[in-house]
């Protein structure tokens, strides 16, 4: 079977299982892009795909629902620290670790993903607080990148800083402003994200396809790149994923630990993928790419565990109500059996206990017996 035909067959099989849709939409576009390095010519579409996805996400934000709390600022501080601290650690180890330092930076600095509120809604968490975290981290991290990207790339010129500011405004400021203005003049635009959910997810998958093609082209043009370096970047990405989810849980108040964990752990990797490709190289972009796998794997596990727990509670409640119904039915069946036995006695000529011959008060025969001397 031809490789592409076999891939299509695998895709169809995976699509039949809803639980495998998200993993399929990660691995299949990435594998296809790696097999088609010619698609690297579509790298220019990544920026516009990011703009469209953020625009759709901002359409559903109601600023009146935003509820900033003290823990949101702790999450923001941790977000910045997880990006900057690993960079300086690897950078201090020597020039040979510069690629790892950049990969760690672009992974750790990534703000909250726009899909984090969706996952929190599935987990029955407080969606408004996660949505607030998305707005705060994306806004302030974007502002910090204006200074941090020149620092980590070593380009401190005003021209470069202006280029970074222009890119950040285009991919972050433009979609937010456009979404606010459109909702102001056409309120029904809030309904678009729900109707175009599959389109947004497909656009994200297309972005992964193009990024994989760009990465493959990089390795073709740089055959001296060590495959071990990719594994090291993947390992760093996995470590930072675990650190982010855990740190968010630890710094969150008792009632909001799960929300803080999700805000810090589930990241807007499309943003830093674009920035890594623009201001570093495709090898560095492998860090955010690997993070896509790690945080979605953890999300899938959380949702699976939550669903199993909910089903267990549902079965338990169903069992208790079934037991009560069975007990009630058993009592009714026992009463019916007693009535049947009594009816059989009557049929055999034996008077029942509550009949005319039973001498119950109020019966005519009972009154006549009382009148006799």
The pLDDT assigned to 299 comes to 85
Residue 326 falls inside a structural domain = no
Across residues 176-199, what is the average pLDDT? 86
Query: What is the chain's alpha carbon radius of gyration, rounded to the nearest angstrom?
Result: 33
Split into its structural domains, the chain has a count of: 1
Q: How many whole angstroms separate alpha carbon 69 and alpha carbon 360?
A: 77
Specify which of 8-17, 24-33, 178-187 reaches the highest per-range mean pLDDT. Answer: 178-187
Query: Which residues partner with 112 through β-bridges?
Result: 267
CATH of residue 154's domain is 1.20.1530.20
Residue 26 falls inside a structural domain = yes
Query: pLDDT tens, 111-139?
Result: 999 888 878 888 888 888 998 999 999 99
- CB-based contact 299:115 (threshold 8 Å): no
The pLDDT assigned to 304 comes to 82
Cα dihedral 116, 231, 239, 286 sign: negative
Q: How many whole angstroms separate alpha carbon 28 and alpha carbon 127?
A: 30
Residue whose structure tokens are 């964990």: 261
Read out DSSP for 70-103?
HHHHHHHHHHHHHHHHHHHHHHHT-GGGHHHHHH
Residue 366 falls inside a structural domain = no
Residue 300 falls inside a structural domain = yes
Under 8 Å CB-to-CB from 345, ≥6 apart: which residues? 352
- Chain mean pLDDT for the chain: 80
Query: pLDDT tens, 243-287?
Result: 999 999 999 998 899 999 999 999 999 899 899 989 998 889 889
User: pLDDT > 90: what percent of the chain?
Assistant: 32
The pLDDT assigned to 235 comes to 96
- CB-based contact 228:283 (threshold 8 Å): no
Nearest to 266 by CA among 234, 235, 233, 288: 288
The pLDDT assigned to 25 comes to 66
Query: pLDDT tens, 46-85?
Result: 889 888 988 888 887 777 778 789 999 999 999 999 999 9
Residue 212 falls inside a structural domain = yes
pTM (2 d.p.) = 0.72
Angle at 25 between CA 47 and CA 28, to 5 degrees: 100
Element (H, E) at 239: helix 227-251
Across residues 197-208, what is the average pLDDT? 81
Residue 10 falls inside a structural domain = no
Under 8 Å CB-to-CB from 175, ≥6 apart: which residues? 51, 52, 54, 55, 58
pLDDT top residue among 270 and 344: 270
Residue 11 falls inside a structural domain = no
Structural domain including 73 reads 19-309
Element (H, E) at 174: helix 174-185
The pLDDT assigned to 334 comes to 58
Nearest to 33 by CA among 285, 295, 299, 215: 215
Q: Token pair for residue 370?
A: 């009382």
Residue 60 falls inside a structural domain = yes
């Amino acid at each position: 079977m031809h490789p592409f035909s076999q891939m299509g067959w695998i895709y169809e099989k995976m699509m039949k299982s809803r639980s495998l849709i998200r993993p399929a939409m990660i691995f299949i576009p990435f594998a296809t892009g790696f097999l088609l390095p010619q698609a690297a010519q579509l790298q220019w579409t990544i920026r516009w795909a990011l703009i469209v996805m953020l625009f759709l996400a901002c359409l559903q934000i109601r600023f009146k629902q935003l509820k900033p709390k003290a823990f949101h600022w702790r999450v923001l501080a941790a977000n910045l620290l997880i990006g900057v601290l690993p960079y300086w650690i690897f950078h201090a180890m020597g020039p040979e670790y510069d690629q790892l330092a950049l990969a760690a930076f672009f992974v750790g600095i990534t703000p909250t993903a726009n899909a984090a509120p969706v996952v929190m809604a599935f987990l029955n968490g407080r969606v408004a607080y996660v949505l607030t975290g998305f707005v705060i981290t994306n806004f302030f991290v974007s502002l910090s990148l204006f200074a941090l990207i020149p620092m980590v790339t070593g380009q401190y010129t005003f021209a470069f800083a202006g280029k970074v500011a222009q890119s950040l405004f285009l991919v972050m400021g433009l979609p937010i402003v456009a979404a606010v203005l459109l909702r102001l003049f056409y309120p029904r635009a809030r309904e678009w994200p729900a109707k175009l959910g599959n389109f947004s997810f497909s656009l994200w998958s297309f972005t992964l396809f193009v990024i994989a093609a760009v990465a493959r082209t990089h390795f073709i043009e740089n055959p001296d790149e060590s495959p071990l370096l990719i594994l090291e970047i993947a390992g760093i990405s996995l470590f930072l994923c675990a650190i982010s989810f855990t740190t968010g849980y630890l710094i969150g108040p008792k009632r909001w630990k799960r929300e803080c964990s999700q805000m810090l752990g589930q990241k807007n990797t499309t943003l830093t993928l674009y920035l890594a490709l623009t201001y570093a190289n495709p090898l560095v972009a492998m860090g955010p790419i690997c993070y896509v796998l790690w945080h979605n794997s953890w999300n899938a596990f959380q949702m699976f565990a939550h669903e199993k727990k909910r089903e267990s509670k549902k079965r338990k409640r169903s069992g208790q109500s079934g037991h009560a119904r069975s007990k009630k039915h058993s009592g009714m069946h026992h009463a019916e059996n007693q009535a049947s036995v009594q009816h059989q006695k009557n049929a055999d000529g034996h008077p029942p206990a509550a009949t005319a011959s039973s001498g119950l008060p109020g019966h005519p025969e009972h009154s006549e017996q009382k009148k006799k001397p």
